[in-house]
Amino acid sequence: MSAAPSIGKKTVRDVEVAGKRVLLRADLNVPLADGAVADDTRIRESLPTMRYLLDHGALPVVCSHLGRPKGRDESLSLAPVAGRLGNLLDREVLFAGDCVGAPAEEAIRAAAPGQTVLLENLRFHPGEEANDPAFARALASLADLYVDDAFGAAHRAHASTEGVTHYLPAVAGFLMEKEVRYLQTLVTDPPRPFAAVIGGAKVSTKIAAIEHLLPKLDLLLLGGGMANTFLVATGVDVRMSLVEREQVDVARRILDRARGRVDVLLPVDVVSADRFAADASTETTPVTAVPPGYMILDIGPTTVAAYTRALQRAQAVVWNGPMGVFELEPFAAGSAGIARAIAALDATTVVGGGETAQVVASLGLAPRLTHVSTGGGASLEMLEGRQLPGVAALMDA
């Protein structure tokens, strides 16, 4: 992958921030347990941009959503995040009891140099998801400059991701820049041979990404529930397994398009079960010998070995979607095996967000990969070749 290609948008490096109030859209949508942050990965990913602003004399006014509240919901307050953020920054973080109006304005006025302000959950206001201009203007009035570092929300045209850019100069933060750079390079000019490992439950959610990537791919490895639909398209009886019958013709069309140009690998053996449960009766068999009444819930060890061998020749790999129901221990080995295979490569390795990132994190493999995306939906839309509203709205370089 070429060194630091431009993403075509201005970044926080390209503007003067000293003495300015900077509205920083971060993705602090972290899991909470017993009123505390249970996993601070997303907070840590946001730190480089916050530290840059602090080191260059700006006042970061951080905003984020958390969960899907319907109006104000104290169980989804960002207050616990303020405490964790302060610990990680080793600086005081003032928490504003609302993201607009007097509570936000007073917290910003009270902030001393070197401090950070965190605003309350944006989604406590319906104007956030509705991209209401009045709400966007109220947010923008708190600052002199806008920095978007929330790649995980960039595929949504919300007030804090798109609306505010109509009222403030808008640039990308370092995490946004990194995410867009890696994914943009893979979908436009990947190192070759280029492999995609695509899994997850449903073909319908991945069709657009597969079809967009196909002309650039040398290798396509399929797993997860979606592989069942492809197996049916090749004439395999997958018994009681999840299949999207209305997508079988689409799967057949993709296999036809790939023939002679892209090596497509489907599972040759699988782990199946008599029911969807951790204590189910399981069988590991060739894909053509799934017992009657059983459903496929993971790829088998022979498939993991075959996929591992195939990946050896790749110079770039993108992985989106687990190989099985990894949340249940009997069906986690396939995803773990593929994660280890990709982590061992001397190649550009990019993992799409969501469940795939969970697999990698649970195994401690993230440091051995080139990039693990923080945005599930946003990374998938980039693989589909779509322009993200939150990126499009930023100032051109």
Which residues have a catalytic role annotated?
Answer: 42, 202, 354, 377
The structure tokens listed for 220 are 């396509």
Among residues 279, 258, 369, 278, which one has the least CA distance to residue 324? 278
Phi, psi of 190 (to 5 degrees): -75, 150
Cα three-residue angle 119-113-109, rounded to 5 degrees: 50
Rounded CA-CA distance 233/256 in Å is 11
Q: Are 30 and 43 in contact (CB under 8 A)?
A: yes
- DSSP one-letter string for 98-159: SSSHHHHHHHHHHPPTT-EEE---GGGSHHHHTT-HHHHHHHHTT-SEEEE--GGGTTS--T
Total residues belonging to the chain: 397
DSSP-derived 3-state class of residue 196: strand
Give the torsion through C-alpha atoms of 366, 369, 371, 372, to 10 deg. -40
Six token digits for residue 374: 């923080």
Q: How many CB atoms lie within 10 A of CB 18?
A: 8
Burial class (CB in 10 A: 0-12, 13-18, 19+), 279: exposed
Residue 338 and residue 305 in contact, taking contact as beta carbons nearer than 8 Å: no
Q: Where are the alpha helices (DSSP H) in 312-375?
A: 333-343, 355-362
CB of 302 within 8 A of CB of 339? no
Alpha-carbon gap, residue 223 to 299, rounded angstroms: 7
Cα–Cα distances (Å) from 96 to 63, 71, 116, 124, in that order, read 10, 17, 11, 13
